[in-house]
Amino acid sequence: MPGSPYLDEKPDGILTWPMLLPVLLCIFATECIVGVWIWTSFPDWRFIVYIILGIDLVTLIVIYIMTTRVKGENLE
């Protein structure tokens, strides 16, 4: 794709899609399996599923902030 910053060299940091997406998909799939297992097998422990969902929400917010912040000095 013309103008893409990823053509010439690999970008710095782990917060790039080629590296981040497979990691997030594996974590999410594991959480889904464990969450369904807890929800169906241990109804008294359903609060753990809510804790996992809360951790996922915080993680998504942090990833959004980390990927959208501007690098460099004050650009005002």
Contacts with 16 (C-beta within 8 Å, 6 or more apart), sequence order: 6, 10
33/39 Cα distance (integer angstroms): 10
Query: Is 10 inside any structural domain?
Result: no
The larger pLDDT score, comparing residue 54 to residue 3, is at 54
Query: Is 3 inside any structural domain?
Result: no
Domains of the chain: total:
1
43/27 Cα distance (integer angstroms): 23
Query: Is 8 inside any structural domain?
Result: no
Query: Is 35 inside any structural domain?
Result: yes
pTM of the entire predicted model: 0.60
Query: Is 74 inside any structural domain?
Result: no
Q: Could you tell me the pLDDT band of residue 41, with boundaries at 50, 70 and 90?
A: very high
Query: Is 50 inside any structural domain?
Result: yes
Lowest mean pLDDT among 3-17, 37-51, 62-76: 3-17
- Residue 57's domain comprises 17-68
